[in-house]
Structure 1
Amino acid sequence: MNTFFAGLLLTLSTVLFCAPSPKKTKKPLVVFVCGDHEYSGEETLPIIAAELEKNYGMRAVVLKASPDHNSEENIPGLEVLKDADLAIFYLRWRRLPPEQLAHIEAYLKSGKPVMGFRTTTHAFNFPKGHVSEKWNAFGEFALNTPPGWGGKAKHTHYGHNSSTDVSIVPKASGNPILTGVAKDFYVRSWLYHVVPDYPLKGSTILLTGKAVNPQRAAVENPVAWTGTNAFGGKIFMTTLGHPEDFRIESFQRLVINAVHDELGLKVPKKWKGKMDIQVPYRVAK
């Protein structure tokens, strides 16, 4: 074999066998943080998490209050937030220790996206003067909601016997998060009152709700919005989240779409099918 062909074969072998292999795309990690007393988020969100893993190419971790949903001072495993690409919260009146709050704070300060359901508007409930009292305003600084329940914002609801008619905000109809979501649909959640000051200025309202059979005079309120939080992180928040809401296809699509959008992924054009979510509501503690 002459020198020319020997050199050519050597070059070809280098290209074929030594060239770097294409990198595999890392699956995004979604971390769910649950503990809400009332709405069975510890049961609904694991079904969403399993769906994301099975049909949408994601990894998911679900963290729960321990030893049960009424345990307000312990959610083990929050250190995994350092690896999360998206954190999703469904909390109600927790009092976590500083070392656990530190993991949430580090995640928020990273500017990564945050998503929240219903009672996450009042995720924490530390007594006045407590070293962690600032966390009572988690809803405001993390998700553009009122800062806790009641208070000057008059954040409240229209009665447990009421429910809500939900409608897409016309000017938001082209938002990809609303892909496949019905123009109007009904949910069991009783409407939360957040207006006139919330969601915070700069938020984009996607859905509004009108109370059905309210116990007092009711006004239309936002029930889902996007925006940017105090740390520069992208947010999606919905004040819906009664377990019966999760049975509705439009709500399921809203949630799956929002997860994709939060991660900077294209909302899937093809719906993988309605999930069977049969989780009971429990009376609040």
Structure 2
Amino acid sequence: MKCSYQIGILFICCFFSCAPAQKESPDAAEDAPKIVFVTGDEEYRSEESMPMLAAILERELGAETVVGYSLDSSGVIDPNNVYHISKLDELADADLLVLFTRFRQLPAEMAAKITDYAESGRPLVGFRTSTHAFRYTEEEDSALMHLNDEWPTRVFGQQWITHHGHFEDGHGRLTEVTLVDDQADNPILNGVEPFEAYSWLYHVDGGDWQLAGDSEPLLMGHSLRSNHEEAGRLDEFPLDNPVAWTKTYTGASGQPARVFFTTLGHPFDFKEESMRKLALNGIYWALGREGDIPAGGVKADFATPYAPNNSGFGELYKPGVRPASR
């Protein structure tokens, strides 16, 4: 009798241990954020780095991710097409916008989908050239020219000013990145170690310029080679500048939105685990998920192969790639 009882218990244990894992509860599925990545820069291969981050977030956060690209008329990714970005309709119900664009001249109705999102009070994350996300120069676009400088300053904390120079792009580290001492306990910096970036340092603070609003620097960059130093202009453009910060933006909704921004973003920067952790942690924080950031930072192992082309203008991006193939 005792033997039969033990066999029965063993059968029950085996049944439950071998049973398929239960699917996520409806509540868990509802908690999965929708993150829309808007790419479109002809220099830094955002069409490669942002899908890489999206894949990690799908794995680690269970996020629904959408990536919009600059496309040509046949649907092929063309970062040089400054007049188009796909998937902008997806921003209507997005929980987070991640922007990495440069000098776009989008039609007014496309630009409005981005700016309407910003005014909604939902969080934003921006990379590098989003300090100059738009560039309108034609008289017929005069109503959009506030997007050139005023808009990124209000939303992200700064506009395009200058940088310390790019020397042999992608063939050497040009910025030493360190943590701001009094921000060491900030969850965005969990697992982030000092590193040297391929990104040449952007000037955003110092001289006649300062970060706007309640911007709070998290990381500082020190230029390892500077054309401003060579020209004797360090009183205007010092060798040390913030490279990552948080702020809030209150738009038409009246609801303060969390904003995370970094001026880093060279395609080779993302080969650094600390850079990926910075980006992922910043996204978690923007979503209000800082409590879910592990002490060592979000797991940043690649979820898909990442072998980006180097930075640079012209035809240096991967040709003939369609979004569906990523």
Q: TM-score, normalised by structure 2?
A: 0.75
Match of 1:132 in 2: 144
1:24 aligns with 2:24: no
SS in 1 for 2:205: coil
1:174 aligns with 2:174: no
- What residue identity is the alignment partner of 2:262? T
Structure 1: 5+ residue runs without aligned partners? 1-21, 150-154
Match of 2:248 in 1: 228
Structure 1 273/124 Cα, relative in aligned 2: closer, same or farther at 3 Å?
closer
Task: Report the identity percentage.
Answer: 37
SS in 1 for 2:227: coil
Match of 1:277 in 2: 306
Deviation at 1:141, TM superposition (A): 2.1
Q: Deviations over 1:27-59 (max 9, x none)?
A: 100000000100000011101101111222111
SS in 2 for 1:132: helix
Q: Name which of structure 1's ranges 155-164 and 22-31 shifts more when overlaid on structure 2.
A: 22-31
Q: Is the 8 A contact 2:66 2:87 kept in 1?
A: no
Q: Deviations over 1:48-74 (max 9, x none)?
A: 101111222111000001121100011
Match of 1:251 in 2: 275
Match of 1:34 in 2: 39
1:142 aligns with 2:155: yes
- What residue identity is the alignment partner of 1:215? N
Structure 1 53/185 Cα, relative in aligned 2: closer, same or farther at 3 Å?
same
Deviation at 1:273, TM superposition (A): 4.4
- What residue identity is the alignment partner of 1:111? G
Distance 1:267 1:38 in 2: 33
Distance 1:262 1:238 in 2: 13
Q: Name which of structure 1's ranges 61-70 and 261-270 shifts more when overlaid on structure 2.
A: 261-270
SS in 1 for 2:65: strand
Q: Is the 8 A contact 2:40 2:102 kept in 1?
A: yes
SS in 2 for 1:106: helix
SS in 1 for 2:67: strand
Match of 1:4 in 2: none
Distance 1:277 1:139 in 2: 29
Work out which of the residue numbers 151, 157, 160 in structure 1 matches 2:163.
157
Q: Name which of structure 1's ranges 121-130 and 244-253 shifts more when overlaid on structure 2.
A: 121-130
Structure 2: 5+ residue runs without aligned partners? 1-24, 73-77, 168-172, 230-237, 315-326
Q: Is the 8 A contact 1:176 1:267 kept in 2?
A: no
- Higher RCO, Cα 8 Å, sep 6+: 2
Distance 1:28 1:173 in 2: 27
- What residue identity is the alignment partner of 1:206? L
Q: TM-score, normalised by structure 1?
A: 0.85
SS in 1 for 2:228: coil
1:194 aligns with 2:214: no
May I ask how many residue pairs the two structures share in their alignment?
256
Q: Which runs of 4+ in 1 moved over 3 A?
A: none
Q: Is the 8 A contact 2:154 2:213 kept in 1?
A: no
Distance 1:176 1:139 in 2: 25
Distance 1:122 1:230 in 2: 20
* Coordinate RMSD, CA, aligned: 1.6
Work out which of the residue numbers 42, 47, 65 in structure 1 matches 2:52.
47
